[in-house]
């Protein structure tokens, strides 16, 4: 028979089949967005293991057409998803998808360059420097955090990577002075509202778990960490011969959207020579609206802010690698100006061309468009907070700062032990309806329902709908 010519559609990047199959996926997704509000936000009756029963035990031997694959996504996968793009998804923190973000991801994946060293794709590495400065300026961050003033930033895959990188940088600075065996003495500080992955990060970098200080927060400070409480904890540790290493301040905590006072904590951290990291993962982006920039005031005292490390030298010295096979087209010693090798700013070697996504989003929507997006969500959350507060069956548990509202059914009488169960039932009833999806939090022992407004398609009417749904379910629950 001889060998047959390769079917063009099986050539990995044949331009014609690439365009045809990719358009089919675009149309599939456009249809999904059109219909996403018709799916239950989260199917209530799923059991682990269902999908495995639907799919074969081994990969197919022969390739199949793209339309068959898409048909199976529609039939087998979509019904089992929790629909994060549903306008009635109010759980966790919603993912802000957008047409421009999608376009940026397509360019990132399609160009498929790996800017881990400058030479491996110069324009990609440089675009990252440009857009992190753009972001820093939009957010009103202090000059000292920008590349243009000796700082600099990197787009990590997640905030958690930023936390781990900066923990490692702080640790290595300390151990370089004290010797590695002093790792047993290093102490990290955060509040009981700090994201739990902070502890995972501290554990990952080898800080002894007995040296994690989780400082209690209270209602009067809106569950923000106070400098006073930090000082008390640090003083105790210093008296015991331990070394304060790292303080994590959060602007917009995951559970309640609480804000730690950056300037006060920064001053406290300086007093003890600690690294201050400001984790503004959730609420930081709100600072593109000037009215929210007060929350990061004092950021010039921080060693790092979310993905924007102030102290690139400490960071890169903890994370740099210079094997021979990365050197050959490097820029050191070539007489050219220094370039940014982003591999040394993150924990992985390989990396995506993330900058182009952020760049396309900033270009396509502009600062005005992004601010409008934030305002739309904050306005809806404000309305919801006001409306909940006006209903005597409910209470708002923590004053809303951004677009997260934490509320619950109010205790009907002092020592109402059943109120947590009622709230649990209410949340379950809402989620089981499939008409909305929310998650909960526990603060001061109280079960609290979280409404996080932030979906790309979420508009005022969806927030109005979820309030009606909540009222109906509350009546049912209270009647039982």
User: Footprint of a copy of itself on residues 92-111 (CB under 8 A)?
Assistant: 92, 95-103, 105-107, 109-111
> Site residues for a copy of itself, window 375-404 (CB under 8 A)?
none
Least distance CB 389 / a copy of itself (angstroms): 22
Stretch that binds a copy of itself, among 117-125, 259-267, 391-399, 472-480 (CB under 8 A): 117-125
Q: Could you tell me if 186 and 330 are in contact, meaning their C-beta atoms sit under 8 angstroms apart? A: no
Nearer to a copy of itself, 22 or 216 (CB): 22
- Using DSSP, state whether 257 is helix, strand or coil: coil
Least distance CB 400 / a copy of itself (angstroms): 17
> Site residues for a copy of itself, window 163-192 (CB under 8 A)?
164, 168, 171-172, 180-181, 183-184
Helix axes 354-390, 460-479, angle to 10 degrees: 50
Binder of a copy of itself out of 90, 141, 166, 195 (CB under 8 A): 195
**Euclidean distance between CA atoms 222 and 53, whole angstroms:** 48
> Site residues for a copy of itself, window 241-270 (CB under 8 A)?
254-255
The answer to whether residue 275 forms part of the interface with a copy of itself (CB under 8 A) is no
Least distance CB 174 / a copy of itself (angstroms): 12
Nearer to a copy of itself, 98 or 471 (CB): 98
Q: If residue 467 lies in a helix (H) or strand (E), which one and from where to where?
A: helix 460-479
The answer to whether residue 461 forms part of the interface with a copy of itself (CB under 8 A) is no
**Euclidean distance between CA atoms 218 and 248, whole angstroms:** 17
Nearer to a copy of itself, 282 or 467 (CB): 282
Around Cβ 111, how many Cβ atoms within 10 Å? Answer: 12
Nearer to a copy of itself, 127 or 265 (CB): 127
Q: Is the dihedral of CA 332, 338, 344, 349 positive or negative?
A: negative
> Site residues for a copy of itself, window 279-308 (CB under 8 A)?
none
Least distance CB 265 / a copy of itself (angstroms): 22
Nearer to a copy of itself, 161 or 237 (CB): 161
Q: Could you tell me if 249 and 262 are in contact, meaning their C-beta atoms sit under 8 angstroms apart? A: yes
Query: By rule CB under 8 A, what string of x and - marks binding of each residue 56-85 to a copy of itself?
Result: -xxxxxxxxxx-xx--xx--xxxxxxxxxx
Nearer to a copy of itself, 35 or 235 (CB): 35
Stretch that binds a copy of itself, among 30-38, 260-268, 302-310, 384-392 (CB under 8 A): 30-38
Binder of a copy of itself out of 219, 372, 418, 478 (CB under 8 A): 372
Binder of a copy of itself out of 75, 143, 150, 158 (CB under 8 A): 158
**Euclidean distance between CA atoms 422 and 12, whole angstroms:** 56
Q: Residue 444 burial by CB count (10 A; 0-12/13-18/19+): exposed, middle or buried?
A: exposed
The number of angstroms, rounded, from the C-alpha of 101 to the middle of its chain's C-alpha atoms is 15
Nearer to a copy of itself, 49 or 290 (CB): 49
Nearer to a copy of itself, 56 or 414 (CB): 56
Task: Provide the strand spans (E) within 371-437.
Answer: 394-398, 404-409
The answer to whether residue 15 forms part of the interface with a copy of itself (CB under 8 A) is yes
Q: How far is CA 66 from CA 21, 54, 72, 355, 438, in A?
A: 7, 19, 10, 30, 35
Helix axes 122-138, 354-390, angle to 10 degrees: 30
The answer to whether residue 32 forms part of the interface with a copy of itself (CB under 8 A) is yes
What Rg value do the Cα atoms of the chain yield, rounded?
Answer: 25
Nearer to a copy of itself, 227 or 358 (CB): 358
Q: Could you tell me if 140 and 293 are in contact, meaning their C-beta atoms sit under 8 angstroms apart? A: yes
Please work out the total of residues on this chain that contact a copy of itself, with binding judged by CB under 8 A. Answer: 164
> Site residues for a copy of itself, window 321-360 (CB under 8 A)?
321-325, 328-329, 331, 336-340, 347-350, 356, 360
Q: Which two tokens stand for residue 87?
A: 């306008």
Task: List all residues 6 or more positions away from 154 whose beta carbon is below 8 Å from its beta carbon.
Answer: 128, 132, 307, 309, 342, 345, 346
Nearer to a copy of itself, 98 or 221 (CB): 98
Stretch that binds a copy of itself, among 134-142, 218-226, 233-241, 308-316 (CB under 8 A): 134-142
Least distance CB 3 / a copy of itself (angstroms): 10
**Euclidean distance between CA atoms 280 and 294, whole angstroms:** 13
The answer to whether residue 17 forms part of the interface with a copy of itself (CB under 8 A) is yes
- Using DSSP, state whether 243 is helix, strand or coil: strand
φ, ψ dihedrals at 397, nearest 5° = -85, -40
Least distance CB 396 / a copy of itself (angstroms): 18
């Amino acid at each position: 028979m001889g060998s047959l010519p390769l079917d063009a559609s099986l050539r990995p990047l044949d331009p014609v089949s690439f365009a045809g199959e990719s358009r089919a996926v675009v149309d599939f997704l456009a249809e999904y967005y059109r219909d996403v509000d018709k799916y239950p936000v989260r199917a209530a009756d799923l059991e682990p293991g269902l999908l495995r029963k639907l799919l074969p035990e081994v990969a197919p031997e022969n390739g199949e057409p793209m339309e068959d694959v898409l048909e199976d996504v529609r039939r087998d996968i979509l019904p089992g998803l929790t629909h994060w793009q549903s306008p009635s998804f109010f759980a966790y923190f919603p993912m802000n998808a957008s047409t421009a973000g999608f376009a940026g991801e397509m360019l990132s994946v399609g160009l498929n360059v790996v800017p881990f060293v400058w030479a491996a794709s110069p324009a990609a590495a440089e675009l990252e420097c440009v857009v992190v400065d753009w972001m820093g300026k939009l957010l009103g961050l202090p000059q000292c955090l920008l590349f243009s003033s000796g700082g600099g930033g990197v787009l990590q895959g997640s905030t958690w990577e930023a936390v781990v990188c900066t923990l490692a940088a702080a640790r290595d600075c300390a151990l370089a002075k004290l010797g590695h065996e002093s790792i047993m003495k290093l102490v990290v500080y955060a509040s009981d509202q700090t994201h739990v992955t902070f502890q995972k990060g501290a554990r990952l970098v080898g800080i002894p778990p007995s040296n994690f200080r989780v400082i209690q927060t209270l209602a009067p400070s809106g569950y923000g960490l106070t400098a006073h409480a930090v000082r008390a904890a640090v003083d105790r540790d210093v008296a015991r011969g331990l070394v304060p290493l790292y303080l994590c301040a959060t602007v917009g905590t995951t559970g309640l959207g609480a804000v730690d006072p950056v300037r006060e904590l920064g001053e406290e951290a300086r007093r003890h020579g600690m690294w201050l990291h400001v984790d503004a993962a959730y609420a930081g982006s709100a600072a593109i609206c000037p009215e929210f920039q007060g929350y990061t005031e004092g950021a010039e005292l921080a060693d790092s802010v979310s993905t924007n490390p102030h102290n690139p030298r400490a960071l890169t010295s903890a994370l740099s690698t210079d094997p021979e096979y990365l050197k050959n087209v490097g820029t050191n010693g070539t007489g050219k100006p220094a370039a940014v090798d982003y591999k040394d700013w993150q924990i992985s070697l390989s990396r995506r061309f993330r900058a182009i996504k952020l760049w396309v989003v900033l270009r396509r929507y502009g600062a005005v468009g992004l601010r409008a997006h934030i305002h739309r969500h904050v306005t809806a959350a404000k309305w919801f907070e006001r409306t909940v507060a006006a209903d005597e069956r409910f209470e708002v548990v923590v004053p809303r700062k951004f677009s997260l509202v934490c509320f619950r059914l109010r205790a009907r009488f002092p020592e109402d032990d059943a109120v947590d169960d009622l709230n649990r039932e209410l949340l379950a009833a809402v989620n089981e309806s499939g008409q909305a999806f929310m998650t909960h939090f526990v603060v001061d022992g109280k079960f609290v329902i979280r409404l996080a407004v932030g979906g790309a398609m979420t508009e005022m009417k969806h927030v109005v709908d979820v309030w009606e749904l909540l009222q109906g379910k509350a009546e049912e629950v209270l009647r039982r």
